Homo-oligomer: A and B are copies of this chain.
Amino acid sequence: MTDANATRRLANAIRALAMDAVEKANSGHPGMPMGMADVATVLFTKVLKYDASAPFWPDRDRFILSAGHGSMLLYALLHLTGSKEMTIDELKRFRQVGSRTPGHPERGHTESVETTTGPLGAGISNAVGLALAERILAAQYPTITDHRTFAICSDGDLMEGVSQEAIAIAGHYKLSRLVFLYDDNSISIDGDTSLSDSVDQIKRFEACGWNAVRIDGHDPEAIEAALKATENADKPTLIACKTVIGFGAPKKAGTEKAHGSPLGAEEIAGARKALGWDYPPFEIPEDVRSAWAEAGLRGRAARKEWESRFEAIEPAVRDDYERRLHGDLPADFAATMTAYRAKLYAAPKEVATRKAGEAALEVVSTALPELVSGSADLTPSNNTLTKNMTVIRPGAYGGTFMHWGIREHGMAGAINGLAIHGGLLPVGSTFLVFSDYCRPPLRLAALMGLRVVQVFTHDSIGVGEDGPTHQPVEHLASLRAIPNLNVFRPCDQIETAEAWELAVSSKTRPSVLALTRQNLPQLRLEETAENLSAKGAYELAAADGPAKVSLFATGSEVSLAIEAKAKLDAAGLPTRVVSAPCLDLFFDQPGSYRAEVIGTAPVKIAIEAAIRQGWDAIIGSDGGFVGMSSFGESGPYKEVYAKFGITVDGVTELATRLAASAA
């Protein structure tokens, strides 16, 4: 058998498993695995540094299936190369509740799945982050970091806008150890891609600083040659692989009919014949099984060699590397943050929380060498480049701050990649209103349980003159709506320091820090050992006697609540104030704690310069609300607050009115 024929036979095992699993599930996408089987086979049998027995080996090459709908390609590869978890039974349970083989690959759910993909563009932007992570870690740990990142992507990946952000970042930063294998099959769900697309991808990638070639994706020699040519590249590489979707299927190959549904018994029988694959469903002949098993061991020698290099490095460095890989914090980190808060208590000040955030970030990033900060071109506004950081530049990766350009979506996708890689703790930043641009990757960070931190400054109508296009109103609610995401909105420099501590300590949940543009007074003046923000909400100021009014507020509106309390107290309405820096954490608390914080005052009012949605859970549907119900307006911020009635008088008048009707 020629080498090419042998490769084809291995690839046909993938094709058969994909057809069979989709058929059994009566749901799924056979076309892509069948089309890209040859490319994937060459990659896994000749190129990828991969050891199926050690899926988490840190210096493995990373393989990302950005075209996540072709999940059976990945599951078949894992099964054939000998992943313990990926048994033939799991393939038979494709797309069933509780299986290891969900419709789209899910990191954390299935071993050896590097990242969760499916939403198009996500995988390739993660891949850019993975390739960047390797360069950053290579600068920090040169003797033990030396791997590459390969991503299979589809027409859809390259049509999504985030692809442009991702490839522009990769090209600019010269991530030469990154390779995209583009499944250039000219078919999407609607039909031929010529229905909606005529982009010259080779030229486009070249314009963005990539090497780009087009090959026959069914020619094993061409695939291998193209992959080998990337080994010493000085730029990232696009290999556009011309393939036939559903390769082998007699009638559906090359059409959208092969994309997203089972082929059917007749077509599968025809494909088996065309491919010369005479085995029953889910059966792999011994020669094929053993050849694949061998491929699964290809990286073993490299891994053993890496392990001896790892053992050779200084124990303290090795321990810190392992600590970072596990996402643990240094043993003295909590003490560092307590000491920092003590310093803040000793010198109270009025400061914007974005500035307070900068100061806290300086402490945090000094303590955590794994922290990589960055901004989507709002560095001087987000205040996320602190004095101790140095800037990462193309070819010079020994820094801790990324200028991402005006690319919020690409940034968020890439920092997911930094987190996925291991060993790094990524921080992104932009304006809160532009969090909308990065919701898809933020959702995936929450779904995967990644420790990423997004600093979203300019967090309300307090933005002022820039007007409604730049004033978030619905964003706090819509971010709180995402499961497994903590949204912090601290009220002063103490809560800001607490939020930073909680965010970087959150191993399996991403965090958002919503910070103000405008100055806020320090409200936390009594030193506490406890991080009061940890429970999400707490009584900041008690009433003098049984409370008639409870005020609940976050961020910039807490000081307004405190001022209103003074007036209401004076007017004979004993008032307490609850600061709620993180509603997500508060709703996670036991019912008894929640009831205690919510309290029993007859009047409950929430104050937040944003929409009411979500607050009824605390104040009740009959509670009072001082906030927004429309978009904002351009003007000096105090005038904008006044225009929308978010003022001390607005609160006291509402409280007085509600107290009168409650009496």
Binding site for B on A (CB under 8 A): 25, 27-28, 68, 95-99, 102-104, 106, 116-121, 155-156, 159-165, 168-169, 171-172, 188-190, 193, 195-204, 206-209, 375, 377-381, 391, 394, 403-407, 409-410, 433-434, 436-437, 439-440, 443-444, 446-447, 464-470, 473-474, 477-478, 480-484, 611-614, 616-621, 628-631, 633-636, 639-640, 643
Contact = CB atoms under 8 A, between A and B. Distances in A.
Contacts of A465: 25, 27-28, 95, 103
A618 B612 CA distance: 13
B437 A104 contact: no
B103 A380 contact: no
A97 B634 contact: yes
A444 B613 CA distance: 20
Contacts of A103: 465-467, 469-470, 634
Nearest to A444: B469
Contacts of A621: 616-621
A172 B160 contact: no
Contacts of A484: 630-631
Nearest to A104: B469
A156, A196, A409 — which one has the most chain B CB atoms within 10 A of its CB?
A196
Contact of A474 (B97, B162, B171, B481): B481
A164 B205 CA distance: 12
Contacts of A203: 203, 206-207
B437 A480 contact: no
Given A203-B207, A634-B104, A405 B613 contact: no
Contact of A403 (B195, B616, B635, B640): B195
Given A171-B199, A189-B381, A614-B614, A470 B161 contact: no
B436 A406 contact: no
A54 to B, nearest CB: 27
A165 B159 contact: yes
A179 to B, nearest CB: 19
B161 A161 contact: yes
Contacts of A155: 406
A163 B164 contact: yes
Given A190-B403, A436-B439, 20 more contacts: A68-B469, A97-B639, A102-B633, A119-B470, A159-B168, A159-B406, A159-B407, A160-B406, A161-B161, A161-B163, A163-B164, A169-B196, A172-B196, A189-B379, A190-B380, A202-B207, A436-B440, A477-B613, A478-B482, A483-B631
Contact of A102 (B433, B477, B629, B634): B634
Contact of A406 (B68, B156, B168, B407): B156
A474 B446 CA distance: 12
A447 B468 CA distance: 8
B168 A96 contact: no
A200 to B, nearest CB: 4
A439 B629 CA distance: 18
A385 to B, nearest CB: 9
A334 to B, nearest CB: 29
A588 B304 CA distance: 67
Residue among A121, A169, A403 having the largest count of chain B Cβ atoms under 10 Å: A403
B161 A160 contact: yes
A106 B447 CA distance: 36
A648 to B, nearest CB: 19
A150 B87 CA distance: 58
21 contacts: A27-B464, A27-B636, A97-B643, A99-B634, A103-B469, A118-B467, A119-B434, A120-B406, A121-B161, A156-B377, A188-B377, A189-B377, A189-B379, A196-B403, A198-B394, A199-B209, A478-B481, A483-B629, A613-B617, A616-B617, A616-B621
Contacts of A116: 469
Contacts of A196: 169, 172, 377, 403-405, 407
B469 A190 contact: no
Nearest to A201: B207
Nearest to A116: B469
A405 to B, nearest CB: 4
A161 B164 contact: yes
Given A102-B467, A168-B197, A198-B172, A378 B189 contact: yes
A188 B376 CA distance: 11
Nearest to A446: B631
Contacts of A164: 161, 163-164
A602 to B, nearest CB: 15
A87 to B, nearest CB: 17
A597 to B, nearest CB: 13
